[in-house]
Copies of this chain bind each other. A is one copy, B any other.
Amino acid sequence: MPDSYTVLHERLAEIHDLGRAGALLAWDERTKMPPRGAEARAEQLATLAAVRHRMFCADEIGRLLDRVRAETKGEPADSDRAALATIVGRDWQKARRVPEALRAEMARASAIAEHAWIEAKRESDFAALLPHLQLNVELLRRFADCYQGFEDFSHPYDPLLDEFEPGMRTHQMRDLLADLREGLVPLVREISQRPQLDDSCLRGEFPTEAQRELILQLLAELPLEQGAWRLDPTEHPFATAIGQGDLRITTRYDEDYLPTALFGALHEAGHALYDAGVDPALERTPLGRPRSLGVHESQSRLWENWVGRSRPYALRLHPRLREAFPRSFDGASPEDLYLAANRVEPSLIRVEADEVTYNLHILLRFELELEIVEEKVELSDLPEAWNARTERYLGLPVPDDAHGVLQDVHWAAGSIGYFPTYSLGNVIAGQLWEEVLSELPELPRQVGAGELTPLREWLRDRVHRHGRKLTPAEILERAGCGPLSVDPLLAHLRSKYGELYGGDPGR
């Protein structure tokens, strides 16, 4: 007779496998699927969601969890078994509140809306997306309603945020973003009064195939296991783990503007490095995935910005770019490349935004999400509301919805509560980088020499391996970073851009 933990583990492993199958279906949908397959794919994703939900919500899982909790009473909270019982116990309580039909409907609507979004964005036609958006939001309302009286949820946004950032509450996120705004707005203003940096070397003609080869080379130089990942083009880049040894990185190529694919791929590779670093002992359990999107995003942003947009990395990148695109880089020095890669300029597209203005894009999305959830804005008025906020935070008029409210897939995919985790990721990355730099003073030299394994090992030890066992706060605490704080991020930005733009912006 196998013990409760073994039985529970087997059940959860099956559910995990179905989840990975769903991840592959979603990856395929966004990278390979013939367009006419969208409808069948939506059904398949809905079925996988429904079956997983049913299997997970079974009474038997609850009984097994109870037993494992009882059996592990004396164990440290972060033992694999005790952590599983606690964390999955909460998952189970949460999942049981949501009817299976709603889960399936959300998966189906999301898959269908994602395809409508691609069309709507291409045509800059918000009206075409609107009914899908309305359905998604209606389903999210019903989802949020399932959590009345759950824990300390007090705002209708709480259950949505908790899906992506378990344990974080709306008011905490609001405070965090307010702190960021206070630091960033004067910094952006100061920078805007300085002479602008020249980024012309990054604008030109960059054939997709040449970009792809360059990026494959750069990714191969990251400490990613050989034969354990692949790179594909997509409309809205993402990274996903299909299983141990099977990471999927995607990117989008802009033939006129190099950073889109280049830094985008480094960003997604950061996600992949995180996924690859989870302790194999947690594999095929609900703990074998990253804890929160905020921590996940801290990894992607760290590799994209702290590594990728650093001076040492620019030095390393320069000869490769010159070889791939001599017309653009024969006349640009490594320092020119470094400056170009860090030009700060309010822009319309979030994923192409510089490190400094990026969080303003998040701020406007977070505020709109709150208004949607609080029913303070009609969905049909979203473009107007979007454009007004873009004017306010970025000082830019929005020429069309493709460059405005339609630019991101998240809302179309039924994800509200996701965006603010991007800024949280920046904040956490700032804290982790400050710490790793103090522990590995050789890091800048190593980045320049392409010796990136020490950084990966540090991150793996402090962050990746824990999977979902530790909360973001615990991860930061144990890593020596103290409590969550915007200060390291703001200090990093002030110091870096102070040097780049001259003077002492933002102080």
Chain A residues in the interface with B (C-beta under 8 A):
13-14, 17-18, 20-22, 24-25, 28, 32-41, 43-44, 46-48, 50-51, 55, 225-230, 242-247, 284
Q: Which of B46, B55, B229, B244 contacts A39 (CB 8 A)?
A: B244
Identify which of B22, B37, B225, B228 contacts A242 (C-beta below 8 A): B37
A-side interface mostly: helix
CB distance from A218 to the nearest CB of B (A): 17
Do the beta carbons of A246 and B33 come within 8 Å of each other?
A: yes
Identity of the chain B residue whose Cβ is nearest the Cβ of A31 in the assembled complex? B32
Q: Which residue of B lies closest to A50 (CB)?
A: B14
Residues in B neighbouring A22, C-beta threshold 8 A: 21
What B residues does A20 contact at CB under 8 A? 40, 44
Q: Report Cα–Cα, A246/B28, bound state, in Å.
A: 11
Q: Which B residues are CB-close (under 8 A) to A245? A: 34-40
Contact across chains for A44 and B32 when beta carbons are under 8 A apart: no
Known interface pairs A25-B24, A28-B24, A51-B51. Does A17 touch B37 (Cβ–Cβ under 8 Å)? Answer: no
Residue in A13, A41, A284 whose Cβ sees the most chain B Cβ within 10 Å? A41
Q: Is the CB of A246 within 8 A of B47?
A: no
Which B residues are in CB contact (< 8 Å) with A230?
32, 34
The 3 residue pairs across chains A and B that have the minimum distance between CB atoms: A40-B243, A37-B246, A36-B245
Contact B44 A227 (CB under 8 A): no
Contact between chains at B227 and A43 (CB < 8 Å): no
The distance in angstroms between the C-alpha atoms of A230 and B28, with both chains bound, is 12
What's the minimum C-beta distance from A286 to chain B, rounded to whole angstroms?
A: 15
19 sample A-B contacts, Cβ–Cβ < 8 Å, listed by A number:
A14-B50, A17-B46, A18-B51, A20-B44, A21-B24, A28-B28, A32-B32, A34-B245, A36-B228, A36-B244, A36-B245, A37-B243, A37-B245, A37-B246, A39-B244, A40-B242, A40-B243, A41-B246, A51-B51
Are the C-beta atoms of A44 and B243 separated by less than 8 Å? yes
Instruction: Provide the residues of chain B in CB contact with A284, threshold 8 Å.
Output: 43
Distance to closest chain B CB from A19 (angstroms): 10
> Taking CB as reference atom, which chain B residue is nearest A38?
B245
**Cα–Cα, bound, A20→B25 (Å):** 10
